[in-house]
Amino acid sequence: MKKTNTLIIFLGLMLIITGFLNITVQAQDDVIGVAEEDAEYNIGFIVKTMANPYFARMKDGAEEAALDFNINLTWVSAQEHTDAEGQLNLVEDMIQREMDAIVINPVGPEAIVPAIKQANERGIPVVIVDTTAAGGDIVTFVGMDNVDAASDIAEYVAQEMNGKGNIAILEGVRGHSTAEERLVGYNNVIDQYPELNVVASQAANYDRSEGMRVTENFLVSNPDLDLIISSNDEMGLGAIRAIMAAGRQNQVKVVGFDAIDDALVSVKNGEMLATVESVPDMQAYESVKAAVDYLNGKEVPSEIIVPCVVVDQSNVDEFLD
């Protein structure tokens, strides 16, 4: 009897611990804006992750909008930017809380569709931000044109390299729309320059450590490498670390994407050649505004595209805090 009780207690503790672990892995929950009882609306905002500084800037924009439009905003993020099931669970939770609207930054265009349809069935309007959705009824998409922005940085690279040289590409998450669209933009421009050669292209999943590791391989395999295009700044900063460790900082240049604070400092210091300001704070602000406008009966365009800017040493001071 004693052993049985011990086993039951042990199993119970394991279930409790597992439950806590699931909660920790699935979401980080924060309420911003005005108090619920004083709010015009209660809106949920779901992002892929807070592990990337890009999404900290997105949160800043959402918070500014929450205060400007007198709403109570529940900010939720999974810890893994590829966790489609976790994001679906977060949307279901927002539906159960009976949010007036939900803003979603999808882990992927296809993966988010079931969640959007669930919100549709409950009559909860959905705004999509930063990454597109492949189905379901949405109020609008708010974000940059990744193909155009990637084309801009690739054209900058082509001019800096005088139209010739060897390029490697650090891709994001293969199969995800943002990564694939940026790759299309790079290649659209590079293909116009016969003497620009892409000698390597590999995913590093938007991670600084992976960017460093992949770049180490690039450097070994390509002794004549001239430049690395990185699909976000985190990977690009990892690439710079690898290049410096190899003593090739005077030979191999790096451009990034997103203009996070560390990258702007790197541009200022002459380490990173350039990056792209993708204004995640503006994307978040405009997505919350779109949700509020829709709830107030205003007409909202089906797509709201925010402008992007290439940032190098000539204009970096405009973007540094």
**pLDDT grade for 29, boundaries at 50, 70 and 90:** low
Q: Largest Cα–Cα distance in the chain?
A: 81
Q: pLDDT tens across 40-53, in order? A: 899 999 999 888 88
Across 186-208, average pLDDT: 98
pLDDT of residue 32: 76
| Lowest-confidence segment of 22-31, 72-81, 210-219 by average pLDDT | 22-31
Across 275-298, average pLDDT: 97
Record the tokens describing residue 138, joined without a space.
Answer: 């949405």
Residue 319 has pLDDT above 90, yes or no: yes
Residue 28 has pLDDT above 80, yes or no: no
| Cα 300 from Cα 77, distance rounded (Å) | 26
Residue 22 has pLDDT above 90, yes or no: no
Residue with tokens 């265009």: 109
pLDDT of residue 127: 99
Record the tokens describing residue 231, joined without a space.
Answer: 């699909």
pLDDT of residue 25: 34
Residue with tokens 């790197």: 266
Residue 7 has pLDDT above 50, yes or no: no
Percent of the chain at pLDDT exceeding 90: 81
| Cα 80 from Cα 126, distance rounded (Å) | 22
All CATH 3.40.50.2300 domain ranges of the chain, comma separated, are 27-143+280-306, 146-277
Residue 6 has pLDDT above 50, yes or no: no
What is the dihedral sign for C-alpha 216, 217, 223, 224?
Answer: negative
Residue burial 135-174, b: 16+ Cβ < 10 Å; e: rest = ebebbbbbbbbbbebbbbbbbbbbebbeeebbbbbbbbbe
pLDDT of residue 78: 79
The DSSP output letter for 41 is -
Spell out the residues 6+ positions from residue 22 whose beta carbon is closer than 8 angstroms to its own: none
Cα angle for residues 173, 117, 65 (degrees, 5° grid): 70
Could you say which architecture CATH assigns to the domain 146-277? 3-Layer(aba) Sandwich (3.40)
* Chain mean pLDDT for the chain: 90
Q: pLDDT tens across 235-272, in order? A: 999 999 999 999 999 999 999 999 999 999 999 999 99
Across 136-161, average pLDDT: 98
Residue 154 has pLDDT above 50, yes or no: yes
Across 101-119, average pLDDT: 95
pLDDT of residue 15: 39
Third-level CATH fold of 27-143+280-306: Rossmann fold (3.40.50)
Percent of the chain at pLDDT exceeding 70: 90
